[in-house]
Copies of this chain bind each other. A is one copy, B any other.
Amino acid sequence: MIRFESDYQEGCHENILKRLSETNLEQSSGYGNDIYCEHAKDLIKKAVGLEQAEVYFLVGGTQTNKIIISALLSPCEGVVCAASGHINVHESGAIENAGHKVLAISSRHDGLLDYKELEDYLENFYSDPTHEHMVQPGVVYISFPSENGTLYTKANLEKIKKICEKYKIYLFIDGARLGYGLMSEKADLNLKELANLCDVFYIGGTKCGALFGEAVVFNNLNIKNFKTLIKQQGALLAKGRLLGLQFEELFKDNLYFELAKHANTQAMRIRRAFEAQGVKLFYDSYTNQQFPVLNKSQFEYLNKDFKFELWQIINEELSAYRFCTSWATNSNAVDALINAIKNI
Protein backbone atom coordinates (compact mmCIF):
# COMPACT_ATOMS: atom_id res chain seq x y z
CA MET A 1 0.00 0.00 0.00
CA ILE A 2 1.49 3.32 -1.13
CA ARG A 3 0.28 6.38 0.76
CA PHE A 4 -0.44 9.83 -0.60
CA GLU A 5 -2.66 10.88 2.32
CA SER A 6 -0.56 13.65 3.72
CA ASP A 7 2.82 15.31 3.61
CA TYR A 8 3.82 14.25 7.12
CA GLN A 9 3.87 10.49 6.81
CA GLU A 10 7.60 9.90 6.91
CA GLY A 11 10.39 11.02 9.25
CA CYS A 12 12.97 13.52 8.01
CA HIS A 13 15.65 14.06 5.43
CA GLU A 14 18.71 11.88 5.96
CA ASN A 15 21.01 14.86 6.53
CA ILE A 16 19.01 15.74 9.62
CA LEU A 17 19.09 12.20 10.91
CA LYS A 18 22.82 12.06 10.39
CA ARG A 19 23.33 15.33 12.24
CA LEU A 20 21.11 14.17 15.12
CA SER A 21 23.36 11.15 15.51
CA GLU A 22 26.61 13.08 15.29
CA THR A 23 25.59 15.60 17.93
CA ASN A 24 23.54 13.34 20.16
CA LEU A 25 25.79 13.39 23.19
CA GLU A 26 26.87 17.00 22.96
CA GLN A 27 25.74 19.08 25.90
CA SER A 28 23.73 22.21 25.12
CA SER A 29 21.77 24.78 27.08
CA GLY A 30 18.07 24.26 26.91
CA TYR A 31 15.19 26.25 25.42
CA GLY A 32 16.92 27.36 22.25
CA ASN A 33 19.94 29.04 23.80
CA ASP A 34 22.43 27.03 21.78
CA ILE A 35 24.74 27.36 18.82
CA TYR A 36 22.50 25.36 16.49
CA CYS A 37 19.61 27.77 16.93
CA GLU A 38 21.96 30.72 16.64
CA HIS A 39 23.40 29.47 13.40
CA ALA A 40 20.04 28.46 11.95
CA LYS A 41 18.67 31.91 12.69
CA ASP A 42 21.54 33.47 10.80
CA LEU A 43 20.98 31.22 7.82
CA ILE A 44 17.28 32.10 7.79
CA LYS A 45 17.82 35.83 8.15
CA LYS A 46 20.15 35.65 5.18
CA ALA A 47 17.72 33.58 3.14
CA VAL A 48 14.81 35.94 3.80
CA GLY A 49 17.00 38.99 3.27
CA LEU A 50 16.05 40.63 6.57
CA GLU A 51 19.09 41.12 8.74
CA GLN A 52 17.01 42.74 11.48
CA ALA A 53 14.37 40.04 11.56
CA GLU A 54 13.50 38.22 14.78
CA VAL A 55 13.48 34.45 14.27
CA TYR A 56 11.94 31.87 16.62
CA PHE A 57 11.57 28.13 16.33
CA LEU A 58 8.39 26.30 17.25
CA VAL A 59 7.31 22.68 17.04
CA GLY A 60 4.06 22.68 15.04
CA GLY A 61 1.71 24.76 12.96
CA THR A 62 -1.31 25.10 15.24
CA GLN A 63 0.79 26.30 18.16
CA THR A 64 2.59 28.71 15.86
CA ASN A 65 -0.64 30.20 14.56
CA LYS A 66 -2.04 30.49 18.07
CA ILE A 67 1.03 32.11 19.58
CA ILE A 68 1.63 34.61 16.79
CA ILE A 69 -1.98 35.67 16.46
CA SER A 70 -2.57 36.02 20.18
CA ALA A 71 0.67 37.99 20.53
CA LEU A 72 -0.51 40.48 17.92
CA LEU A 73 -4.06 41.03 19.15
CA SER A 74 -5.55 42.89 22.07
CA PRO A 75 -8.48 41.16 23.81
CA CYS A 76 -11.28 42.55 21.64
CA GLU A 77 -9.50 42.11 18.34
CA GLY A 78 -9.94 39.21 15.95
CA VAL A 79 -8.20 37.70 12.96
CA VAL A 80 -9.60 37.98 9.44
CA CYS A 81 -9.19 35.03 7.10
CA ALA A 82 -10.80 33.03 4.33
CA ALA A 83 -13.50 30.73 5.72
CA SER A 84 -11.38 27.79 4.57
CA GLY A 85 -8.37 29.01 6.58
CA HIS A 86 -6.76 26.33 8.71
CA ILE A 87 -7.26 28.39 11.88
CA ASN A 88 -10.99 28.55 11.14
CA VAL A 89 -11.52 24.87 10.53
CA HIS A 90 -8.95 22.37 11.67
CA GLU A 91 -7.28 23.76 14.76
CA SER A 92 -9.99 22.83 17.26
CA GLY A 93 -10.71 26.44 18.12
CA ALA A 94 -7.15 27.26 19.17
CA ILE A 95 -7.61 30.94 18.32
CA GLU A 96 -10.86 31.20 20.22
CA ASN A 97 -9.24 29.38 23.13
CA ALA A 98 -6.80 32.29 23.17
CA GLY A 99 -9.82 34.61 23.38
CA HIS A 100 -10.10 35.83 19.81
CA LYS A 101 -12.75 35.56 17.14
CA VAL A 102 -11.86 34.29 13.70
CA LEU A 103 -13.53 36.71 11.33
CA ALA A 104 -14.12 34.41 8.39
CA ILE A 105 -14.74 35.81 4.95
CA SER A 106 -16.31 33.70 2.21
CA SER A 107 -13.87 31.41 0.46
CA ARG A 108 -15.26 31.02 -2.99
CA HIS A 109 -11.80 31.59 -4.35
CA ASP A 110 -10.13 28.20 -4.07
CA GLY A 111 -8.99 28.95 -0.54
CA LEU A 112 -7.57 32.39 -1.27
CA LEU A 113 -8.62 35.54 0.52
CA ASP A 114 -9.86 37.91 -2.15
CA TYR A 115 -8.40 41.37 -1.69
CA LYS A 116 -11.56 43.02 -2.89
CA GLU A 117 -13.67 41.08 -0.41
CA LEU A 118 -11.21 41.99 2.29
CA GLU A 119 -11.42 45.66 1.43
CA ASP A 120 -15.22 45.52 1.34
CA TYR A 121 -15.31 43.78 4.68
CA LEU A 122 -13.11 46.41 6.31
CA GLU A 123 -14.93 49.31 4.71
CA ASN A 124 -18.29 47.95 5.82
CA PHE A 125 -16.96 47.28 9.27
CA TYR A 126 -15.74 50.79 9.93
CA SER A 127 -18.78 52.40 8.36
CA ASP A 128 -21.13 50.32 10.53
CA PRO A 129 -22.30 52.64 13.32
CA THR A 130 -22.44 49.68 15.70
CA HIS A 131 -18.87 48.52 15.15
CA GLU A 132 -17.91 49.55 18.66
CA HIS A 133 -19.96 46.50 19.75
CA MET A 134 -18.16 44.18 17.38
CA VAL A 135 -14.85 42.34 17.28
CA GLN A 136 -12.20 44.66 15.86
CA PRO A 137 -10.08 43.32 12.98
CA GLY A 138 -6.45 43.22 14.12
CA VAL A 139 -4.65 40.68 11.94
CA VAL A 140 -5.18 39.32 8.45
CA TYR A 141 -4.20 35.66 8.14
CA ILE A 142 -3.46 34.02 4.82
CA SER A 143 -1.78 30.74 3.93
CA PHE A 144 0.84 30.43 1.23
CA PRO A 145 0.04 28.13 -0.42
CA SER A 146 -3.56 27.98 0.72
CA GLU A 147 -5.09 24.88 2.27
CA ASN A 148 -6.31 24.09 -1.26
CA GLY A 149 -2.85 24.24 -2.80
CA THR A 150 -3.47 27.55 -4.54
CA LEU A 151 -1.21 30.59 -4.59
CA TYR A 152 -1.39 34.34 -4.23
CA THR A 153 0.26 36.27 -7.03
CA LYS A 154 2.74 38.91 -6.04
CA ALA A 155 0.29 41.55 -7.22
CA ASN A 156 -2.46 40.15 -5.01
CA LEU A 157 -0.18 40.02 -1.99
CA GLU A 158 0.81 43.62 -2.57
CA LYS A 159 -2.82 44.65 -2.68
CA ILE A 160 -3.60 42.79 0.52
CA LYS A 161 -0.58 44.34 2.21
CA LYS A 162 -1.64 47.81 1.15
CA ILE A 163 -5.14 47.29 2.53
CA CYS A 164 -3.66 46.08 5.82
CA GLU A 165 -1.46 49.15 6.02
CA LYS A 166 -4.37 51.43 5.26
CA TYR A 167 -6.36 49.98 8.14
CA LYS A 168 -3.36 49.44 10.44
CA ILE A 169 -3.84 45.70 10.58
CA TYR A 170 -1.02 43.14 10.71
CA LEU A 171 -0.53 40.70 7.86
CA PHE A 172 0.52 37.20 8.86
CA ILE A 173 1.34 34.42 6.40
CA ASP A 174 0.98 30.79 7.46
CA GLY A 175 3.79 29.03 5.66
CA ALA A 176 3.23 25.49 6.86
CA ARG A 177 3.84 24.47 3.23
CA LEU A 178 5.84 27.54 2.26
CA GLY A 179 8.49 25.65 0.29
CA TYR A 180 5.91 23.95 -1.90
CA GLY A 181 4.38 27.34 -2.62
CA LEU A 182 7.56 29.18 -3.47
CA MET A 183 8.87 26.35 -5.64
CA SER A 184 5.65 26.05 -7.63
CA GLU A 185 5.98 26.58 -11.35
CA LYS A 186 3.24 29.19 -11.00
CA ALA A 187 4.84 31.18 -8.17
CA ASP A 188 5.78 34.70 -9.26
CA LEU A 189 7.58 35.77 -6.10
CA ASN A 190 10.52 34.49 -4.08
CA LEU A 191 11.17 34.12 -0.37
CA LYS A 192 12.67 37.58 0.04
CA GLU A 193 9.77 39.23 -1.71
CA LEU A 194 7.24 37.32 0.37
CA ALA A 195 9.07 38.19 3.58
CA ASN A 196 8.85 41.84 2.68
CA LEU A 197 5.14 41.70 1.98
CA CYS A 198 4.03 40.77 5.48
CA ASP A 199 4.69 41.53 9.13
CA VAL A 200 5.29 37.95 10.18
CA PHE A 201 5.31 34.54 8.53
CA TYR A 202 6.69 31.13 9.16
CA ILE A 203 8.67 28.57 7.24
CA GLY A 204 7.15 25.14 7.69
CA GLY A 205 9.59 22.37 8.44
CA THR A 206 7.23 19.60 9.59
CA LYS A 207 5.80 19.10 6.10
CA CYS A 208 9.03 19.78 4.26
CA GLY A 209 11.96 17.71 5.39
CA ALA A 210 12.07 18.03 9.18
CA LEU A 211 10.78 15.71 11.89
CA PHE A 212 8.95 18.76 13.16
CA GLY A 213 9.56 22.49 13.42
CA GLU A 214 8.36 25.84 12.13
CA ALA A 215 10.59 28.91 11.86
CA VAL A 216 8.79 32.15 12.67
CA VAL A 217 10.14 35.33 11.08
CA PHE A 218 9.08 38.76 12.31
CA ASN A 219 9.78 41.51 9.81
CA ASN A 220 10.26 44.79 11.63
CA LEU A 221 8.17 43.74 14.60
CA ASN A 222 9.49 43.27 18.09
CA ILE A 223 7.02 41.43 20.30
CA LYS A 224 7.80 42.06 23.96
CA ASN A 225 8.44 38.85 25.89
CA PHE A 226 7.77 36.62 22.91
CA LYS A 227 9.78 33.77 24.39
CA THR A 228 7.73 33.94 27.56
CA LEU A 229 4.58 33.78 25.44
CA ILE A 230 5.95 30.64 23.80
CA LYS A 231 6.67 29.11 27.19
CA GLN A 232 3.20 30.06 28.45
CA GLN A 233 1.65 28.12 25.58
CA GLY A 234 3.72 25.07 26.48
CA ALA A 235 5.56 25.38 23.18
CA LEU A 236 9.14 26.04 24.27
CA LEU A 237 10.98 22.84 23.47
CA ALA A 238 13.38 21.89 26.29
CA LYS A 239 15.95 20.50 23.86
CA GLY A 240 15.56 23.48 21.60
CA ARG A 241 18.69 22.61 19.68
CA LEU A 242 16.69 19.92 17.89
CA LEU A 243 14.87 22.71 16.11
CA GLY A 244 17.97 24.73 15.35
CA LEU A 245 19.81 21.71 14.04
CA GLN A 246 17.00 20.79 11.66
CA PHE A 247 16.68 24.26 10.18
CA GLU A 248 20.44 24.47 9.91
CA GLU A 249 20.38 21.44 7.64
CA LEU A 250 17.38 22.66 5.68
CA PHE A 251 18.87 26.07 4.99
CA LYS A 252 22.36 24.83 4.27
CA ASP A 253 22.97 24.41 0.53
CA ASN A 254 19.37 25.21 -0.37
CA LEU A 255 18.10 21.81 0.79
CA TYR A 256 14.68 23.14 1.83
CA PHE A 257 13.92 24.35 -1.66
CA GLU A 258 15.33 21.29 -3.37
CA LEU A 259 13.05 19.09 -1.33
CA ALA A 260 10.03 21.24 -2.12
CA LYS A 261 10.85 21.24 -5.79
CA HIS A 262 11.03 17.48 -5.83
CA ALA A 263 7.59 17.21 -4.24
CA ASN A 264 6.10 19.66 -6.71
CA THR A 265 7.58 17.81 -9.67
CA GLN A 266 5.96 14.60 -8.49
CA ALA A 267 2.67 16.38 -7.86
CA MET A 268 2.69 17.83 -11.36
CA ARG A 269 3.19 14.36 -12.79
CA ILE A 270 0.12 13.20 -10.89
CA ARG A 271 -1.85 16.23 -11.99
CA ARG A 272 -1.06 15.66 -15.62
CA ALA A 273 -1.93 11.99 -15.35
CA PHE A 274 -5.37 12.87 -14.04
CA GLU A 275 -5.83 15.55 -16.65
CA ALA A 276 -4.86 13.12 -19.38
CA GLN A 277 -7.79 10.94 -18.27
CA GLY A 278 -10.15 13.89 -18.33
CA VAL A 279 -10.43 13.91 -14.53
CA LYS A 280 -11.50 17.30 -13.25
CA LEU A 281 -9.40 18.98 -10.55
CA PHE A 282 -11.37 20.45 -7.68
CA TYR A 283 -8.87 23.27 -7.14
CA ASP A 284 -6.34 24.56 -9.60
CA SER A 285 -3.28 23.63 -7.57
CA TYR A 286 0.28 23.73 -8.83
CA THR A 287 1.77 22.72 -5.51
CA ASN A 288 2.22 19.41 -3.70
CA GLN A 289 -1.47 18.78 -3.04
CA GLN A 290 -3.73 17.65 -5.88
CA PHE A 291 -7.50 17.35 -5.64
CA PRO A 292 -8.97 15.17 -8.41
CA VAL A 293 -12.71 14.66 -8.61
CA LEU A 294 -13.35 10.92 -8.88
CA ASN A 295 -16.45 8.89 -9.38
CA LYS A 296 -17.09 5.81 -7.30
CA SER A 297 -15.53 3.27 -9.61
CA GLN A 298 -12.45 5.41 -10.16
CA PHE A 299 -12.09 5.80 -6.42
CA GLU A 300 -12.46 2.09 -5.81
CA TYR A 301 -9.96 1.23 -8.44
CA LEU A 302 -7.28 3.53 -7.05
CA ASN A 303 -8.16 2.73 -3.47
CA LYS A 304 -7.04 -0.86 -3.91
CA ASP A 305 -3.35 -0.03 -3.97
CA PHE A 306 -3.12 3.56 -2.78
CA LYS A 307 -4.19 5.55 0.21
CA PHE A 308 -5.42 9.11 -0.25
CA GLU A 309 -7.86 11.34 1.55
CA LEU A 310 -11.52 12.02 0.95
CA TRP A 311 -11.71 15.80 0.73
CA GLN A 312 -15.33 16.61 -0.03
CA ILE A 313 -18.42 14.72 -1.11
CA ILE A 314 -19.86 16.51 -4.15
CA ASN A 315 -22.84 14.35 -4.92
CA GLU A 316 -23.94 10.71 -4.85
CA GLU A 317 -21.48 9.85 -7.57
CA LEU A 318 -18.60 12.28 -7.29
CA SER A 319 -16.18 13.30 -4.56
CA ALA A 320 -12.99 15.31 -4.42
CA TYR A 321 -9.94 13.56 -3.00
CA ARG A 322 -6.57 14.79 -1.87
CA PHE A 323 -3.25 13.33 -3.03
CA CYS A 324 -0.16 14.77 -1.36
CA THR A 325 3.42 14.43 -2.37
CA SER A 326 6.27 15.50 -0.15
CA TRP A 327 10.03 15.81 0.07
CA ALA A 328 10.00 12.03 0.73
CA THR A 329 7.81 10.92 -2.14
CA ASN A 330 9.42 8.16 -4.09
CA SER A 331 9.46 8.59 -7.82
CA ASN A 332 8.65 4.89 -8.29
CA ALA A 333 5.59 5.26 -6.12
CA VAL A 334 4.38 8.02 -8.39
CA ASP A 335 5.08 5.86 -11.42
CA ALA A 336 2.88 3.17 -9.93
CA LEU A 337 0.13 5.68 -9.22
CA ILE A 338 0.30 7.10 -12.73
CA ASN A 339 0.03 3.63 -14.21
CA ALA A 340 -3.05 3.02 -12.15
CA ILE A 341 -4.55 6.37 -13.14
CA LYS A 342 -4.16 5.38 -16.78
CA ASN A 343 -6.58 2.53 -16.15
CA ILE A 344 -9.37 4.28 -14.32
Least distance between A193 CB and chain B CB atoms (Å): 28
Complex CA–CA separation, A94 to B92 (angstroms): 18
Distance between Cα atoms of A8 and B33 in the complex (Å): 13
What's the least CB distance linking A215 to chain B, in Å? 16
Cα(A151)–Cα(B234), bound, Å: 25
Q: Which residues of B contact A328 (CB under 8 A)?
A: 25
User: With A17-B21, A76-B97, A92-B228 given, can you name 14 additional A-B contacts, CB distance below 8 Å?
Assistant: A2-B27, A8-B239, A9-B29, A9-B30, A11-B23, A17-B20, A61-B238, A62-B236, A76-B231, A76-B232, A78-B96, A93-B100, A101-B102, A233-B234
**Contact A229 to B20, CB < 8 A, known contacts A9-B30, A30-B6, A67-B234:** no
- Please determine whether B24 and A237 come into contact, CB atoms closer than 8 angstroms: no
B12 touches A27 (CB 8 A): no
The reply to whether the CB of A50 lies closer than 8 angstroms to some CB of chain B is no
User: Within A19-77, which residues are at the interface with B (CB < 8 Å)?
Assistant: 20-21, 23-31, 59-67, 70-71, 74-77
Distance to closest chain B CB from A265 (angstroms)? 19
Beta-carbon contact of A11 and B20 below 8 Å: yes
**Does A212 interact with chain B (Cβ within 8 Å)?**
yes
Query: Per a CB cutoff under 8 Å, which of B3, B29, B93 touches A78?
Result: B93
Closest chain B residue, CB of each to CB of A307: B27
Q: Distance in Å from the Cβ of A92 to the closest Cβ of chain B? A: 4
Whether A234 lies near B63 (C-beta < 8 A) is yes
Integer count of this chain's copies in the complex: 4
Instruction: Report if A219 contacts B (CB, 8 A).
Output: no
A133→B17 contact, CB < 8 A = no
Name the distance in Å between A319's Cβ and chain B's nearest Cβ: 12
Chain B residues whose C-beta falls within 8 Å of the C-beta of A10 in the assembled complex: 24-27
A235–B234 touching, CB < 8 Å = yes
| Beta-carbon contact of B12 and A28 below 8 Å | no
Contact of A11 among B25, B90, B91 (CB under 8 A): B25
- Output the nearest chain B residue to A312 by Cβ-Cβ distance: B128
Question: Is A276 positioned at the interface, with any CB of B under 8 Å from its CB?
Answer: no
How many Å from the CB of A203 to the closest CB on chain B?
Answer: 15
Would A99 and B102 count as touching, CB distance under 8 A?
no
